[in-house]
Structure 1
């Protein structure tokens, strides 16, 4: 899709919705000997999410799994809208859109695999991470250059901030 069209779509975004495994993480699951699940999150992705929220763009998570680990990460990032155990991401996205009174065309959704397809196709800006399954890359408006769990979310956050003319404002405190 043309860069101008992507910028127009990003300019309209009021809500960024993220999958977890393969988007906020690299998609690998780690289990300790005692069965404890471990995940790694990219700190730059987290900072991008915080900056986006400070600029007035809400963030949410929709994930098929249900873990305290994700709830803790969402709380650390100030993400108030967390939908866990939701296999049908399209239905979950519609419900979130209605609950928050944000039209689908003002929502960006980032995913990596088939369960994310309905949400990517209905969101105003559908994004696939670089290492997403080829079907997601084919249906997405945008494919990131960074991989899931390795800066893809930060890339999307920066894009939205730039499109909305808020990037320099977000950066300014770090240059003083």
Structure 2
């Protein structure tokens, strides 16, 4: 896919799938372990509402993460995420599996990630996004970077950026007025 040939505005209008990494995007990337070995993750409610707004606008959602955790399963289920891929270090391979099992493709997919395992997915999607504290190579190849860090509302910015690019954000915000 040649992103240079298409402008960002046109690419955003075709997005029907938004894909999120977890550590560093939906969480702050820190791994906390309780004395019994149980892993704890924190999620931001700002991001959760952004994901729900995407789905309300007809955009499906997915999580692709290199780690596996019960917390991600619970968060995914509570938000109604359409696709969940855990324990997948090769994000592009997982993304290609998702595409082959759905009506989505590279030209209709937005992806947000922050580290090297996300890079190939970011580069192959119509809209690749990242966060300000991402690896420098990821920032170089992303189409857009949020103002907020992962776990602090970055995913919400990503969601609203897509919705704004599709001229759907203002209407979705009206329901809260």
Contact 1:15 1:102 in 2 (8 A): yes
Contact 1:130 1:147 in 2 (8 A): yes
Note the C-alpha offset of 1:101: 1.8
Q: Distance in 2 between matches of 1:96 and 1:143?
A: 24
Note the C-alpha offset of 1:6: 2.8
| Aligned equivalent of 1:163, options 162, 165, 171 | 165
What residue in structure 2 maps to residue 22 of structure 1?
A: 24
Q: Distance in 1 between matches of 2:174 and 2:127?
A: 27
What residue in structure 1 maps to residue 117 of structure 2?
A: 115
Number of residue equivalences: 174
2:95 is aligned with 1:82: no
What residue in structure 1 maps to residue 130 of structure 2?
A: 128
Q: Please identify runs of 4+ aligned residues in structure 1 that moved more than 3 A.
A: none
CA RMSD of superposed structures (Å):
1.6
Q: Which runs of 5+ in 2 are unaligned?
A: none
TM-score (norm 2): 0.94
The 5-angstrom pairing of residues 1-176 of structure 1 reads 5-175=7-177
Q: Distance in 2 between matches of 1:85 and 1:31?
A: 18
Note the C-alpha offset of 1:158: 0.6
